[in-house]
Amino acid sequence: MPKPHEPVMDLIRASMDPASRTARLRIDSPACRVVIAAARADAEEGGNSRVVTLATGTAVSATGLTMLLAEHRHVTTEVFIDHLEAAKHEMDPHGRSPDVTVVMRSLLTEHPMQESARVLTDAFLQDQEGFCDLIVDLAEYAASAIKLLQQNKVATQEQTLAELDGMLEEFVGTA
């Protein structure tokens, strides 16, 4: 039986697949297929535990990786996220809300689990399809961060994935 955090790792690995970024249709994207499969399984059971695990797991992963990148750049995590928001705004001034930075900032508050739950719940209630897109966006950001850590010779992809796997196993086990 798979461990509860493994779907999150599957999603992040699928996001590292170049086909996830080049697919013309969602069903052709390995990352989207992971989220769609979780949503379908939840719908069959009348629940949402798989999608919630993907959302929270990818949010925690993206935030943790951002902390590593910020540390490597010798800036605070908040400053690093400010730079991400500025770059995103330049590329897409009318971007969707919430985006990955909103979710990551929610995990940097005084009450991270409550605040991130509020942000993710609001996103789900506003637009369920957009919520699934947000999960994919978080996973794609995490995949990009993993690649950036390797490019900057902070850690190999394999090392980062192994550390992330251990962190997620502990996080999901305590959540």
Tell me the per-residue pLDDT of 78-115, one tens digit each, with 9 for 90 and over: 999 998 888 876 656 555 545 899 999 999 999 998 99
Specify the DSSP element, H or E, that contains 93. none
Of the candidate ranges 46-50, 70-74, 87-91, 121-125, the one whose mean pLDDT is the lowest: 87-91
Give the SS3 label for residue 99: coil
Residue pair 62/141 in contact by the 8 Å Cβ criterion: yes
Reported as a single tens digit per residue, the pLDDT across 147-162 is: 999 999 999 999 999 9
CA distance 106 to 111: 8
Q: How far apart are the first and last CA of the chain?
A: 19
- pLDDT for 50 equals 93
- pLDDT for 85 equals 85
Q: Is the dihedral of CA 109, 166, 117, 140 positive or negative?
A: positive
Reported as a single tens digit per residue, the pLDDT across 105-148 is: 999 999 998 999 999 999 999 998 999 999 999 999 999 999 99
